[in-house]
A and B are shown apart, each in its own frame.
Chain A
Amino acid sequence: MLGQYLPLLMLFGLAVLFAAGSFIASGLLAPRNPTYAKRAAYECGIVPTKETPERFPVKFFLVAMIFIVFDIEIIFFYPYALAYGSLGVFGLAMIMVFTFAVFESFVYLISNGALEWGPLKQVARPSGAVSPERTAESTIRRVGLENRPIAEETAA
């Protein structure tokens, strides 16, 4: 059994060697003249003035935490999937109870808005910007057409 891990170890070594070799080759072949602008953080040409924020939306942490709940569920699913034959109806009932418990907590999380992202549709807060009275005619001011005949009139 353990013999099957030998090739994995070999492949691991080969992959690490390949990556390291690439870096060494690149180090030998590539030019090296860094300037301040090259080494600055890339912000599409704007000179970065502020430090990179170390904080990001807490939603991402929530996702990571909810994932743990599901990962545990999956971890319990795998042994069940491999051994369900010998567990019979009892095993089925138990896995259903377990799934129900996890699903219930999942529903609770969703209900509390733990997985709410992004903007809501405009329906939520009708703004004055959207109204049937506003058309292209009423909102776009034609520039340079003052005192000039409109195309349709000239055609007629």
Chain B
Amino acid sequence: MMFAQDPLYAGDWLGDALIAGLKVLVAFAFLLVAVMLNIWFLRKVISDFQNRIGPNTAGRWGILQSLADGIKLFFKEDLIPENSDRFAFKLAPYLSLVPAFLVFAIIPIGGDFNGDDGDGVVSIFGHDTLLQVADPPVGVLWFLAMSSLAIYGVMLAGWSSGSKYPLIGSVRASAQMVSYEAALGLALASVLLVSGTLSTHAMVIDQSGEGPAFLGIENILPAWYLLPVGIVPFVVFIIAGTAELNHPPFDLVEAEQEIVGGFHTEYSSIRFALFFLAEFMNQITMGALLVTLFLGGPNGPAFFFPEGWWIGVFWFFVKLMGFLFLLVWVRATLPRFRYDQLMDFGWKLLIPLSLGWFILLAFIQVGRDEAWSTAQFVGLGVGLAAVFLALAGMLTLAIRNARNERIEEMEDAHG
């Protein structure tokens, strides 16, 4: 009995370990280069938005600017504040950077998923393997675990600095990340309802091929989860993901007008660089996860089916670039949230919305499985809608009540 053994790792264990090592090295190098280019991309695009040139000296089109910045930071003095907790202060960059590397391991970045036997398996030196570092059975739970761990990095960095602004920044950051993680997790639950699996690889296989017919035309819609899951979890995921990344308009963590640099105010030299590396790496990973969960991962549009593993890599990067551009666009366009707006938005809108959507989706899925008749669907649907309305009314009432109580309190205090 082949228990607890992956078929991809059967047989020649040394060769498989070497292949795994090769994939790890490639992913590692890819992430570092991708972060370099991501920072350059951000600076170039944002300078276009602001009608200026941006970096243009280091290398062609300034493409080596981030590398130059990184090398410069190696030569900068590394300061540890006097009243800091030295151990936690040194530990925090690890806690931030290592999870950032590890999350990317579950992302399938390529492979041929076309046709019935398209399972994304590629052959490297005669070994069958997947174009992703690892496909653990816990799948996307790995992402949630690692992004929760990364909060410790931010929290410890601010707390251990022994300084006011970092402390405020880190407390804000953890409250924000924790709040939006709830919304993110609920949006993810909707995807799991449709996928029925946690493994990212199985999700991508499930999203290959043709989707449902649209207006009677076959072969035009892809089988991406965006269609069965719906737009709400997708949008919630983008918003909550942006907030998880502490990216504008949710960058209260490092709101420089209020709290200097936020949690990494006291960090200098390479410690500071590692925090930045982690931040930009997380942007790439979040985009890659969004592509995997909603946009079919390496699967191209339904009507476009050439052969080969590279086409998967191509589509994956096209979609990833789309997300990264969206991030820069948002950064260039939207002003920063106020903290109370941020909390209200996350708790009082995104969480109830994704919660309701999850129940709705479960209702539809179960109805389809049980082969309910249209009459049953309509009858139960009306009941569900009534419950939703009642609950939404309850929530609105609660919000208004809390507000009125505060107003009364304030009037009592001020006369």
Contact status B74-A26, CB under 8 Å: yes
Residues in B with CB closer than 8 Å to A149 are: none
Report the nearest A residue to B177, measured CB to CB: A67
Contact status B260-A44, CB under 8 Å: yes
Contact status A40-B82, CB under 8 Å: yes
Q: Does B79 contact A (CB under 8 A)?
A: yes
Contact status A6-B274, CB under 8 Å: no
Q: Which of A1-52 contact B (CB under 8 A)?
A: 1-8, 10-12, 14-16, 18-19, 22-23, 25-27, 29-34, 36, 38-44, 48, 51-52
Report the separation of the CA atoms of residues A51 and B167 in the bound assembly, to the nearest whole angstrom: 12
Q: Does B83 contact A (CB under 8 A)?
A: yes
Report the separation of the CA atoms of residues A99 and B172 in the bound assembly, to the nearest whole angstrom: 28
A contact face: mostly helix, strand, loop, or mixed? helix
Q: Which of B145-193 contact A (CB under 8 A)?
A: 161-165, 167-168, 171-172, 174-175, 178-179, 181-182, 185-186, 189-190, 192-193
Q: Does B9 contact A (CB under 8 A)?
A: yes
Contact status B24-A14, CB under 8 Å: yes
Q: Does B389 contact A (CB under 8 A)?
A: no
Contact status B75-A92, CB under 8 Å: no
Report the separation of the CA atoms of residues A40 and B77 in the bound assembly, to the nearest whole angstrom: 15
Report the nearest B residue to A80, measured CB to CB: B362
Contact status A116-B402, CB under 8 Å: yes
Contact status A7-B410, CB under 8 Å: no
Q: Does B93 contact A (CB under 8 A)?
A: yes
Report the separation of the CA atoms of residues A107 and B411 in the bound assembly, to the nearest whole angstrom: 25
Most buried by A among B24, B273, B344: B24
Q: Give the Cβ gap from A56 to chain B, nearest Cβ, in Å.
A: 5
Q: Does A113 contact B (CB under 8 A)?
A: yes
Residues in B with CB closer than 8 Å to A19 are: 93-94, 97-98, 274
Return the contact of A8 from the options B9, B134, B274, B397 (Cβ within 8 A). Answer: B134
Contact status A115-B347, CB under 8 Å: yes
Q: Does B270 contact A (CB under 8 A)?
A: yes
Q: Does B348 contact A (CB under 8 A)?
A: yes
Contact status B343-A117, CB under 8 Å: yes
Q: Which of A117-135 contact B (CB under 8 A)?
A: 117-120, 124-125
Report the nearest B residue to A59, measured CB to CB: B175
Q: Does B365 contact A (CB under 8 A)?
A: yes
Contact status A63-B83, CB under 8 Å: no
Report the nearest A residue to B79, measured CB to CB: A38
B contact face: mostly helix, strand, loop, or mixed? helix
Report the separation of the CA atoms of residues A106 and B350 in the bound assembly, to the nearest whole angstrom: 13
Q: Does B116 contact A (CB under 8 A)?
A: no
Q: Which of A84-129 contact B (CB under 8 A)?
A: 84-85, 88-89, 91-92, 95-96, 99-100, 103, 106-108, 110-113, 115-120, 124-125
Report the separation of the CA atoms of residues A4 and B202 in the bound assembly, to the nearest whole angstrom: 14
Interface residues on B, range: 35 or more
Report the separation of the CA atoms of residues A113 and B136 in the bound assembly, to the nearest whole angstrom: 42
Contact status A84-B77, CB under 8 Å: no
Decide yes or no: A16 and B366 within 8 Å by CB, A34-B79, A82-B197 being known contacts.
no
Residues in A with CB closer than 8 Å to B88 are: none
Residues in A with CB closer than 8 Å to B340 are: 116-119
Contact status A41-B24, CB under 8 Å: no
Report the separation of the CA atoms of residues A118 and B342 in the bound assembly, to the nearest whole angstrom: 10
A–B pairs, 17, beta carbons within 8 Å: A4-B6, A7-B134, A16-B98, A18-B28, A18-B97, A31-B75, A40-B82, A52-B162, A52-B163, A63-B175, A67-B179, A81-B189, A99-B355, A115-B402, A118-B339, A124-B407, A125-B411
Chain A residues within 8 Å of B, Cβ to Cβ: 1-8, 10-12, 14-16, 18-19, 22-23, 25-27, 29-34, 36, 38-44, 48, 51-53, 56, 59-60, 63-64, 66-67, 70-71, 73-74, 77-78, 80-82, 84-85, 88-89, 91-92, 95-96, 99-100, 103, 106-108, 110-113, 115-120, 124-125
Chain B residues within 8 Å of A, Cβ to Cβ: 4-6, 8-9, 16-17, 20-21, 23-25, 27-28, 73-83, 90, 93-94, 97-98, 101-102, 105, 133-137, 141-142, 161-165, 167-168, 171-172, 174-175, 178-179, 181-182, 185-186, 189-190, 192-193, 196-198, 260, 265-266, 269-271, 273-274, 338-341, 343-344, 347-348, 351-352, 355, 358-359, 362-363, 365-366, 369-370, 391, 394-395, 397-399, 401-403, 405-407, 410-411, 414
**Additional A-B contact list (6), CB under 8 Å, known A2-B6, A78-B192:** A15-B102, A39-B80, A44-B260, A67-B181, A81-B189, A84-B193
CB-based closest 5 A-B pairs: A118-B340, A117-B340, A3-B9, A41-B163, A111-B398
